[in-house]
Amino acid sequence: MFTLKNNFKILSFVLIISCLNFLFFHIPFFNFVFENINYKSFSGVFVIASLVVLMIVLNAFVFFLLLYLSQRIGKFLLVLFFLMNAIAVYFVATYGIIVDESMIGNVFNTNYDESSSYFSYKMVLYLIFLGVLPSYFILRSKVERVSFKRFSILSSLTLLFAFVLVFVNASNWLWIDKNSKRLGGLAMPWSYVVNTSLFYIHESKKNEKEILLPDAKIMDNEKAVVVLVIGESARRQNFSLYGYSKNTNPLLSKTQNLFHFDANSSATYTTAGVKSILDHKETGDLYEILPNYLYRNDVEVIWRTSNWGEPPVHIKNYQDRAYLQTNCKEEYCNYDEVLLYGLKEQILASKKNKILIILHTSTSHGPSYNKKYPSQFEHFKPVCESVELSNCSQSELINAYDNTIVYTDYILHKTIEALQELDSYKSTLLFVSDHGESLGEKNLYMHGIPMSIAPKEQYEIPFIVWLPEDSSKKIKKFDMLSQYHVFHSVLNFLNIESPIYNEEMNIFKE
């Protein structure tokens, strides 16, 4: 077995570790820098050189500090950094993600089914060669301790050097500030260390008791049902209803009284996108969301989900995939069509006149698009079968994704058919996606890019509405809708009066 015979001086050791950290994990960081700066100019060269030196020196300083305080804890944290860095840089390199606070939120809101779909042998190789092997080196190395005096001198000189280097780059601060979010999301290990801290700080604020909305009043006894289907990663440009060249909406395109609107999501990740669909307005506060509000005001609310990431839902009938699969034995029960199992019967069994049903799908969530639909919906071939999306041709990737839209088309069609059979109810269907999806455009995959720099593929979403042909309701004309239109439109359709109702955000008219 390989052993290290020589001791390392602490300064030499932290510089070696810092250089390894730089070489192994910062190719995406400097790819971004080279793409966004004139590296042929003196100023560009100076910025790049300064970033290299600062990254090595400041990381070495932090590693030095950790090892000085406790070698055991310091080595443990260094090993943890290298293992986490290896996984993080795999996802950055494979899917083009940025490890910012929203992406950390995605990680913590991912369940086993989704996380296991990302497994690949390439990820294992990243983990072994960039994580495990350096960790072995760290654990086997013997590092000499240093006196407090030497620690103080070296620390002071390092910080002084870093301060001077930052100061002489004053003319480039604007460029660095402009790109700080992207740079910070690619700097390992601080991208996930800092953003995990920020995520938990903000989550602790979200866990405060929700702010109740003013009481609402049901204005009539007419039976009415609204089905709100929350799409997952469904981008507008791949719906043939919106002019896409491939027929991804063979059923909806033939449906009478179907309307579709351009819409933009308020975020590029599920938790924020779903919250916006359920909120009455754009706000950073934790207000009562639509299902909780209506349930508290005597509306029957049924939530059926094959997904996750929604705000806290306080209703009686919350039914996840496992619950729905208990008695469902059909082949489709392994897919999102399970959300429709027994739905009509559940509506008819309700003792209340006003009903809101929310179907939270997962149909178009990657990376395993080809596993999100039954085989008979594979209209477009060949399809991408790898979780490493960059290994597939873009046409294979888009084919697999387009098949999920065909399946979504079918689910919406089946839902409309069920509503058409409810003669005693006034009914409508709303379909709104939580966000869009990147499919290799600009070398980006999936979603989660910060809204400030997100490509349109990740926020341009469909907003589809169906009404029965004999409905007393009509649809207003809009050039663009937002996710916040859902809340007020549902109140209007169910004829619920509320002090927070905003007519301008309602899509229906008599």
pLDDT tens column, 60-80: 999 999 988 888 999 999 999
- 15: its two tokens: 């510089």
Question: Left, alpha or beta for 233 (phi > 0: left; psi -120 to 50: alpha)?
Answer: left
Q: Among 37-51, 62-76, 128-142, whose mean pLDDT is lowest?
A: 37-51
Confidence band (pLDDT; 50, 70, 90) for 386?
Answer: confident
Instruction: Please tell me the least confidently modeled range out of 112-121, 150-159, 494-503.
Output: 112-121
Q: Is pLDDT of 1 > 60?
A: no
User: Residue 129 carries which DSSP code?
Assistant: I
How many Å apart are CA 509 and CA 474, to the nearest integer?
5
Count other Cβ atoms within 10 Å, centred on residue 423.
8
pLDDT of residue 313: 93
Domains within the chain, CATH numbers bracketed: 10-205 (no CATH), 222-352+363-493 (3.40.720.10)
Is the pLDDT at 2 greater than 50? The verdict is no
Burial of 343 by CB count in 10 Å (0-12 exposed, 13-18 middle, 19+ buried)? buried
Token representation of residue 470: 């004999």
**Mean of pLDDT values over 119-131:** 88
Check if the beta carbon of residue 74 is closer than 8 Å to that of residue 178: no
In whole angstroms, what is the distance from residue 457 CA to residue 120 CA? 26
Above pLDDT 70, what percent of the chain? 94
Cα angle: 194, vertex 197, 198; to 5 degrees? 85
Residue 169 scores a pLDDT above 90: no
Quick check: 433 pLDDT over 80?
yes
Check whether 453 has a pLDDT greater than 50.
yes
Say which residue, 415 or 286, is predicted with more confidence. Answer: 415
**196 compared with 129, residue with greater pLDDT:** 129
Please tell me the predicted confidence (pLDDT) of residue 112.
61
Partner residues linked to 211 by β-bridges = 287
Tell me the two tokens of residue 229.
């289907």
Q: Is 221 helix (H, G, I), strand (E, B) or coil?
A: coil
For residue 304, the model assigns a pLDDT of 97
pLDDT of 147 > 90? The answer is no
Lowest-confidence region among 102-111, 408-417, 436-445? 102-111
What SS3 string covers 338-379?
A: HHHCCHHHHHHHCCCCEEEEEEECCCCCCCCHHHCCCHHHCC
Q: How far is CA 381 from the centre of its chain?
A: 27
| Contact present, 77 and 66 (Cβ < 8 Å) | yes
256-277 average pLDDT score: 95
Q: Which residues partner with 264 through β-bridges? A: 460, 482
Lowest mean pLDDT among 201-205, 222-226, 252-256, 323-327: 201-205
Q: What is the pLDDT of residue 348?
A: 94
Q: How confident is the model at residue 405 (pLDDT cuts 50, 70, 90)?
A: very high
Q: How much is the average pLDDT of 38-45? A: 79
* Omega prior to 382 cis, within 30 of 0: yes
Helix, coil or strand: residue 426: strand
The answer for residues whose C-beta is within 8 angstroms of residue 235's C-beta and 6 or more apart is: 433, 436, 437, 457, 458, 460, 461, 462
pLDDT above 90 as % of the chain: 58
